[in-house]
Structure 1
Amino acid sequence: MRNARVFQLVLAVAVWAAVVVTSAPGGGGVGAQGMGSDEESVGPCARVAAAEVAAAADDDETVTVPDPVLLAVLEDHLGLGPGEPVTRGALRSLRKLSASRLDTQAAPIRILEGLQYATGLRELSLWGNEITDAGMISFAGFDSLWYLSLGANRLTEVDLSELGSLETLSLKANRITSLDDLDGLGDLSRLKRLYLTANPLSGPQSVPNLECLEILHVREAGLSGITLASLPKLRELDLRGNTLSALSLGDKPALETLVLTRNRVKSWALPAQSAIPSLTKLLINDQRVAYTSLDGDRMSITFPNANSTLEDLHLQYNDVLNDLDIANLTGLRTLDITASRICSTYGDTSPSTTTTSKKRSRVTVNAGSAQSGFADSQSPHSISVPGGNTVSISRERSAELRHIECPPSSVAHSQLQSTTADYVGGL
């Protein structure tokens, strides 16, 4: 086998030498006529042939892989026995490489040296290792890579500038403190899915305009603010578990699902339907807001504009909600207010006459009279909820609302809480 490889290499070099001699001045052929540089005289076919010769010469070169765990993974993927050399040609032949510790429970990979020659990869998953910035490689030449998962490592920055074909990128549970440390992120023109959950992204962050982005998850990241570019194809935005007190969406024509659970949103109004014409699901559960009194300092979620697309509204475990008027949500099918207290004033609301005894819960379903909107004895459809609250549904809307989730308060508040681990699994 070794002799055969040597013969092939010698033959390739001989062919290359013949091409060079033919194209040189005085060497005959087109080059002898003085038609310019070697590139112009040889032509694209000869350049390709020379490149192929160079690649053939590299194919048998042994690559050093210092990390023993990575070496074992490569041997397994390449079908090599222990001690057999890992060559550049073999690495270039790889199309998919998975070295996730979630699957193997093996020792961690720390250094990627040697993997830079696997430029034919299309999918690369290195989830759950201990790769640091010093152990990373350059992705120059990885023109076909469309899926990259580097989640649950120890990275503080990643150079993405060479990954123009990337469609899915997961960097969950690393040590990235700023999106500015993801060099080239804004140039990923084909990126569709971006997962940044459980990174210490404290402070406000700015997401660049990624024309193809459809899914963005930045959960449990300590975000105090986020600026979103136009993101014309964004369908799913999950920002749960941060410290956001406000959110400006701007126009998001493709947005279908918005999750703001476990933030600090105290006052938020649903944007006009013209800005979010595709929104069907909204979760604003368990807002961690400090309340000073039931009379003055309450959480307020309002729906000031007509909206026919929103179907699922989840407002669980919000301690003190102001009057919840959903009259404008004409397409609503599911309302979940499990373990939320919805406070309102029934009757005269002037300060001199308002008393605690007049406090009642209210979910206004239509724009009709108090009889159909308030929780009084004449309401045709009412359901009791934890804390003595009552949700009142008018006759006009009861046929449209298919599901109202208001179970007894048997689920402990802690059961709704989720640890970081719940959001870093997978990818």
Structure 2
Amino acid sequence: MECVKVDLVTVTYKNRDGRTVEVEVDPDDSSILDLSHKKISSIDLESVVAIPGLTKLDLSRNTFTHPLDLSPLSSCKTLESLDLFKNQFDQVDLTPLKGCKSLTELNLGANNLSEIDLSPLKGHTNLRRIRLFNNQLSDVDITPLAKCTGLEYLEIESNALTEIDLSPLAGCSALKQLNLMYNQLTNIDLSPLSSCLGLHFLYLHHNKLQDIDLSPLASCTKLRILRLAGNQLSEVDLKPLNTCRALRRVGLAMNRIEEIDLSPLVKATELSFLDIAGNRLKEVDLTPLSGCTSLSELYLHSDHPTDNEFGSLDLTPLFGCPDLEDLTVSDSTRLVADSKYSKGKGIPYALEELADEGRIHWE
């Protein structure tokens, strides 16, 4: 049988030393082109799109000296993933991606972008993940994402956002993760998230939020992680979380919370992490946690300049948390517990340590 010779495709780029590099690609061998970590300063994308059936293009971790012209990608109808992570782009024109309807993931993280126009992504129903983290964005209009019905992950953390309108996400019912941590948000309306019934992860920690209404999360019954630490919240009503029985981690540390009702967590049997340290609490009823049988980490005090000042704490409910390994409390807090547990077996490790140290007063 005569062997058919496959025509190789030659991809050309220049590295930061000014040397031209040619890479031969066998189009029958792979539809993925990985050119990450190649010290690329410029690349001929015309040579890239010559690869028939290209589905993934990875240009991450390079050293481009000029904005990358994506125009050649307009003809790449099969492109599913474009990775431009950690370059030095201060601008990217996404217009050529308008016709790339197969696109599922776009990574623009860790660049120097101060603005981004997402309108070319309008109607990209296959788009599942957008990564814009660690840039210099002070404003992002996500309106074009309103009809991206397949969107599951939106990551805009570590930017300079002072506000963001989440209304377009009401049409993104498949959304699983929204990450807005480490921005400068002073307020946020979560109402659009009530339509995101599959939401698993919501990261809002380390912003400047002074108040927050969690009511929209009542319909997000699959929510697993909620992080609100490092804001300026003086109060937070957890009642909407009563229906979120899949919760695993709740972070409320380093706020200004003066009182808190943990009863909405009573049915969160999968809750493994709860952090309320670094607030202004004088008392807290731990009774609701007795049913949180998966709880392994509970932080009530830390080394923050401003912290909770509990005169005493009744730890009795925590004996219902067999996996509890880490528990932080102030040395000045008087710890009490029901004496019926004083000689019991199978005491949670964190409580056993406190008992051995003579910290617990049995009553």
* 1:165 and 2:126 correspond: yes
Partner of 1:241: 206
Partner of 2:87: 129
Q: Say which SS state the counterpart of residue 260 (structure 2) adopts.
A: strand
* 1:361 and 2:312 correspond: yes
- Separation in 1, partners of 2:212, 2:98: 37
Match of 2:336 among 392, 396, 414: 392
* 1:198 and 2:164 correspond: no
Over the matched positions of the two proteins, sequence identity in percent amounts to 19
Which amino acid counterpart does residue 55 of structure 2 have in structure 1?
A: R
Q: Say which SS state the counterpart of residue 140 (structure 1) adopts.
A: helix
TM-score normalized by the length of structure 2: 0.69
The residue correspondences of 1:54-73 to structure 2 (distance < 5 A) are none
Partner of 2:5: none
* 1:99 and 2:59 correspond: yes
Q: Which segment is superposed worse, 221-230 or 304-313?
A: 304-313
Which amino acid counterpart does residue 182 of structure 2 have in structure 1?
A: E
Q: Give per-residue Cα distances to partners, 1:216-272, cap 9 Å, x unaligned.
A: 111101111222221110011111111112222222211111111211122123225
Q: Do the aligned partners of 2:123 and 2:145 also contact (CA within 8 Å) in 1?
A: no
Q: CA deviation at 1:90?
A: 1.3
Distance 1:221 1:85, change over 3 A: closer
Q: CA deviation at 1:343?
A: 3.1
**More helix per residue: 1 or 2?**
1
Which amino acid counterpart does residue 79 of structure 2 have in structure 1?
A: L
Partner of 1:120: 78
Match of 1:111 among 68, 77, 98: 68
Q: CA deviation at 1:286?
A: 2.1
- Separation in 2, partners of 1:260, 1:235: 15
Which amino acid counterpart does residue 288 of structure 2 have in structure 1?
A: N
- Separation in 1, partners of 2:334, 2:74: 62
Partner of 1:337: 300
- Separation in 2, partners of 1:199, 1:405: 40
Q: CA deviation at 1:206?
A: 2.4
Which amino acid counterpart does residue 222 of structure 2 have in structure 1?
A: A
Distance 1:306 1:312, change over 3 A: closer
The residue correspondences of 1:409-420 to structure 2 (distance < 5 A) are none
Which amino acid counterpart does residue 190 of structure 1 have in structure 2?
A: G
Q: CA deviation at 1:115?
A: 3.0
Partner of 1:225: 187
Considering only CA atoms, is the larger Rg found in Structure 1 or Structure 2? Answer: 1
The residue correspondences of 1:33-48 to structure 2 (distance < 5 A) are none
Q: CA deviation at 1:169?
A: 1.1
The residue correspondences of 1:141-152 to structure 2 (distance < 5 A) are 141-152=99-110
Match of 2:253 among 272, 282, 285: 285
Q: Give per-residue Cα distances to partners, 1:161-190, cap 9 Å, x unaligned.
A: 1422111111112333334x2341121100
* 1:321 and 2:281 correspond: yes
- Separation in 2, partners of 1:406, 1:182: 50
Distance 1:394 1:223, change over 3 A: farther
Q: Do the aligned partners of 2:123 and 2:147 also contact (CA within 8 Å) in 1?
A: no
Q: CA deviation at 1:97?
A: 0.9
Distance 1:278 1:385, change over 3 A: closer
- Separation in 2, partners of 1:313, 1:135: 41
Q: Which runs of 5+ in 2 are unaligned?
A: 1-9, 28-42, 320-326, 355-363
TM-score normalized by the length of structure 1: 0.60
Q: Which runs of 5+ in 1 are unaligned?
A: 1-61, 290-297, 345-359, 373-382, 409-427
Distance 1:100 1:84, change over 3 A: closer
- Separation in 2, partners of 1:190, 1:308: 31
- Separation in 1, partners of 2:198, 2:106: 21
Q: Do the aligned partners of 1:306 and 1:330 also contact (CA within 8 Å) in 2?
A: no
Q: CA deviation at 1:127?
A: 0.7
Which amino acid counterpart does residue 111 of structure 1 have in structure 2?
A: L
Q: How many residues align?
A: 302
Q: CA deviation at 1:365?
A: 4.8
Distance 1:84 1:78, change over 3 A: farther
Q: Do the aligned partners of 1:91 and 1:118 also contact (CA within 8 Å) in 2?
A: no
Q: Say which SS state the counterpart of residue 322 (structure 1) adopts.
A: coil
Q: Give per-residue Cα distances to partners, 1:106-138, cap 9 Å, x unaligned.
A: 345622233333332111110122334464442
Q: Do the aligned partners of 1:342 and 1:361 also contact (CA within 8 Å) in 2?
A: no
Which amino acid counterpart does residue 300 of structure 1 have in structure 2?
A: E
Partner of 1:14: none
Distance 1:76 1:390, change over 3 A: farther
Partner of 2:261: 302
- Separation in 2, partners of 1:74, 1:93: 23
Q: Do the aligned partners of 1:192 and 1:215 also contact (CA within 8 Å) in 2?
A: yes
Q: Do the aligned partners of 1:109 and 1:129 also contact (CA within 8 Å) in 2?
A: no
Partner of 1:259: 227
Which amino acid counterpart does residue 286 of structure 2 have in structure 1?
A: I
